[in-house]
Amino acid sequence: MAKRTTIPQIMRLKGQRPIVSLTAYTAPLASLLDEHVDFLLVGDSMGMVLYGLPSTIGVTLEMMIAHGAAVVRGSKKACVIVDMPFGSYQASPTKAFENAARIMSETGCAGVKLEGGQEMAETIKFLVERGVPVLAHVGLLPQHANQVGGFLTQRDEEKILADAHAVANAGAFATVIECTEPAISRRITNEIAIPTIGIGAGVDCDGQILVTEDMIGQGTGYVPSFVKRYAEVHEDITKAAHNYAEDVRNKRFPKA
């Protein structure tokens, strides 16, 4: 039986080779991606991708746990990290630990991800000291998109740099850098000891992550400009559904 990639193994990849990550929300998709990635992220992006929500704000702790458990069951090799949804960690470090512990115990995941830099450093430290591995998230924070006016490229170098140093010093095992000027991401990657995982943040991060549905062309909504399409599943599904409907209507399916 294959052993799962561990968080220390991911940390040791910094400076060795790029870290590969994708999102997964279901067991079947997790099983398809498992062999090809270092870690799978059960992102709160599922609210928009799977549930048709306008943002990630409406995602609940129960949703994250249900999908996180499915991804763990569907995978064997990849390290699995689960997002902490909006409202589950901001109130206090104690509340954050209560919810993070529930996520880990009920899903079997290796760690959690939460958004925020300097303002979340105390919470990250509190979690890590109590045995909860934390993947940090700086730059564009989707849970704060309403506050900053949308999904915009982040250019405040000193703030983002300070955020990255804060989460690294607090004990995060790695940090996502989202929608940030590549020069800023490069500087962060060179200055902090933990791996950086880019999404729309340039090629110089220690690794990359994409929303899988964007990568395979399954979604029908807005696709960020930095995404590269590696398949067009949307077209294949649409064609298959059309052909099936035509066969049913013309009594070609099922065959007598």
The continuous run of DSSP H or E covering 206 comes out as none
Q: Which residues of 162-193 are buried (b: 16+ CB within 10 A; e: fewer)?
A: ebbbbbbebbbbbbbbbbbbeebbbbbbeebe
Burial of 150 from C-beta contacts in 10 A (0-12 / 13-18 / 19+): exposed
Q: How many angstroms separate the CA atoms of 84 and 61, rounded?
A: 7
φ, ψ for residue 234, nearest 5 deg? -55, -45
- Residue 115 among known ligand-binding residues: yes
- Compute the Cα dihedral for 75, 81, 84, 89 and give only its sign: positive
State the catalytic residue, choosing from 178, 213, 232, 235: 178
Q: How many angstroms separate the CA atoms of 26 and 36, rounded?
A: 16
Q: How many angstroms separate the CA atoms of 209 and 41, rounded?
A: 9
Q: How many angstroms separate the CA atoms of 245 and 148, rounded?
A: 45
- Residue 83 among known ligand-binding residues: yes
- Residue 157 among known ligand-binding residues: no
- Residue 95 among known ligand-binding residues: no
User: Is 213 one of the annotated active-site residues of the chain?
Assistant: no
- Residue 45 among known ligand-binding residues: yes
Q: Which two tokens stand for residue 22?
A: 């994708």
Q: How many angstroms separate the CA atoms of 34 and 185, rounded?
A: 27
Which positions make up the binding site for 3-methyl-2-oxobutanoate? 44-45, 83, 113
Which positions make up the binding site? 44-45, 83, 113, 115
Which positions make up the binding site for Mg(2+)? 44, 83, 115
Active-site positions read 178
